[in-house]
Structure 1
Amino acid sequence: MVQPTMQPAQGAQITLRGEYLAEHTLYLDNRIVDGSVGVAALTPLRDSYGQLWLVQRGFLATGPHREPPKQLLPVARLS
């Protein structure tokens, strides 16, 4: 686990425990994955120390007419 006073090394894999702040999810538009148009979902996570982390949660397809994402992201506490 990374202590909030330390910055992880570039490219390091880290383990986080905390709670997603789903109401603050951002959708980064104009993404294309395997030929599908969509958005990248970015959600802040508050860890057990109170530190906030911006987590890229994946790609959501929006369709050719840029409809809002149909799939909702899980809202759960991570442990």
Structure 2
Amino acid sequence: MPDTRSQDVFIKNRENIRITGVIDVRSFDDVFVDLDTEQGRMLIRGEGLKIGSLSLEQHELYIVGYIYGCEYEDISKNKKKIFTRIFK
């Protein structure tokens, strides 16, 4: 069955990023933003990062600052680690 959860990530000139499908912001500072999204946990790294706006009702986050990159945490990798520790 296809995944029906929707998410968009827009990065403009590495100076700002707009993300839809945001569920929660776990933590943030000026170099790192850790958030939960419809597609899984996302990590954003950069410099001088600031949250421009956040609407959990509309599931949108807007961040300004110099963006180094963003990545999703590999859920299957974490599940494997958990099972390895349990059955070791």
The structure in which a higher percent of residues are strand is 2
Q: When the two structures are superposed, what TM-score results if normalisation uses the length of structure 2? A: 0.30
Q: When the two structures are superposed, what TM-score results if normalisation uses the length of structure 1? A: 0.32
The structure in which a higher percent of residues are helix is 2
